[in-house]
Amino acid sequence: MAEDLVLDIKDLVVHYETEDADVCAVNGIDIQISKKRTLGLVGETGAGKTTTALSILNLIPNPPGVIKNGSIHLDGKDILKMSQEDLQKVRGNDVAMIFQDPMTALNPVMTVGEQIGESIMLHQNISKQEAFEKAKEMLKMVGIAESRAYDYPHQFSGGMKQRVVIAIALACSPQLLIADEPTTALDVTIQAQVLELMKQLIQEKEMAMLLITHDLGVVAEVCEDVAVMYAGRIVEKGTADDVFNHMRHPYTEGLFDSLPNLKQRGEQLVPIRGLMPDPSDLPPGCSFAPRCPYATEACTKSIPPLKSVEGSKTHFVACTAYENPDFSLRRNENGK
Ligand SMILES: Nc1ncnc2c1ncn2[C@@H]1O[C@H](COP(=O)(O)OP(=O)(O)OP(=O)(O)O)[C@@H](O)[C@H]1O
Ligand code: NI
C-alpha cells in the first residue's frame, strides 16, 4: 500500500494575507492518494479546495498567498522544498491539472492535433510529424476520431473540448491528475461520459486523481475515496462507502440533504441553513457549529480533531458530538 502512495499532504496551512484581512483558506489538512485511486475533495464554494490543488503545484499566487505550514510529497519528493527548476519538471511531467473551462486550456488558432502534439514534444524527443501521429492516437484514446486532429477547438462541442484537454493533460503520462470541477460546465449526460472516461484512464494508466467538486453526485460516480472540506479543514474522510453509507459529520449530512440528484433520495431538499463563515474571521471551536443542528456549547470551545471512527481503518470524522457515545445523525438512526 505505502509504496503505491502518489500524493501525501501533511498538515497543510495556506493563508492569503491581503491588505485588509488574513484569509485562513486551508487550516491544517492531510490528504493521501494511492495509485489507481481517485479522491473526491468536496465542499461548498470558498472551502479551500482550489487553494489545496494549487498548493500541490506550488502555484499559490504570492502575494497574497502564503503556504504557512505542511509538507506535500509527490512520489516521495517534497514539492515545497524543490528548486524552481525541479518544480517546473514536476509540473510538466508528474502532475497535470484540468480546469472547469476547457477553452482556457486550448489555443483557438491551433488545430487540436498540433496542440496535443506540442504537449507530447515537450516530454519526448520526437519529430513534429511523429508527435502529430501520436496526437491522433491520444484523440482515439479519449473517444474522438483521428481525422478530427486537423480541426480547431471551436469546431468541437464543450464535452469534446474537455476530452481534448484530457488528452493534452495525459500526453505527459502524469502520475497525478488534478481535476478542478472538470465537468461543471458540461451538460449532465456529457458530464457522465467525461467522468467515465477519466475514471477508465486512471485505471489504465495507473495514475492517481484528485477530483475537486461541490457535487456529491460526481463523487459517487467516480471516486473510491472522499474528503469533505469545510472552512479550510477536512471534517470527514473515508472510502466512498464510509462517507455515503455511514456518514458521520453533520455537515456531510447537510450536503446530502441539500443535494438534488442522488438516486436514493426520496425526501424533500433541505438546504443547509446559514452561510460558511468568512475564512478571515473563523468562529472559535468547530467552524460548522453556527450552522449545525446538533451543536452544543462544547462545540464552540475547541476545534475537534479528525479522529478515526471506532472499528474502521479508513473512516475519520472531526466532530465533538461523538464524545457522547450515544450520538448519531438523524440519517443513521433508522439504519442502526
Ligand atoms: N488570491 C486570493 N486572495 C485572497 N483571498 C483568496 C484568494 N484566492 C482565494 N481566496 C479565498 O480563499 C478561500 C478559499 O478559496 P478557494 O478558491 O480555495 O475555495 P474553493 O473551495 O475552491 O471554492 P470554489 O468552489 O468556489 O472554487 C476563499 O475565502 C477565497 O475567497
Ligand atoms: Ni475552487
- pLDDT per position as a tens digit, 243-286: 999 999 999 999 998 876 555 555 678 889 999 999 999 999 99
H or E stretch covering 199: helix 188-204
Which residue lies with its CA nearest to atom 12 of ligand 1?
25
Mean pLDDT across 74-88:
94
Ligand 1 centre from 227 Cα, in Å?
A: 18
CA-to-CA distance for 218 and 183, rounded, in angstroms? 9
> 177: which strand partners?
96, 209
Say if CB 294 and CB 286 are below 8 A apart.
no
The response to whether residue 308 sits with its C-beta less than 6 Å from ligand 1 reads no
Ligand 1 centre from 71 Cα, in Å?
A: 20
Ligand 1 centre from 99 Cα, in Å?
A: 15
**Which numbered ligand comes closest to the C-alpha of 63?**
1
Query: Tens of pLDDT along 165-212?
Result: 999 999 888 999 999 999 988 888 888 999 999 999 999 999 999 999
Query: Tens of pLDDT along 38-70?
Result: 999 999 999 999 999 999 999 999 999 999 999
pTM of the predicted model, to two decimals?
A: 0.95
Nearest in space to 59 (alpha carbons), one of 32, 30, 87, 83: 87
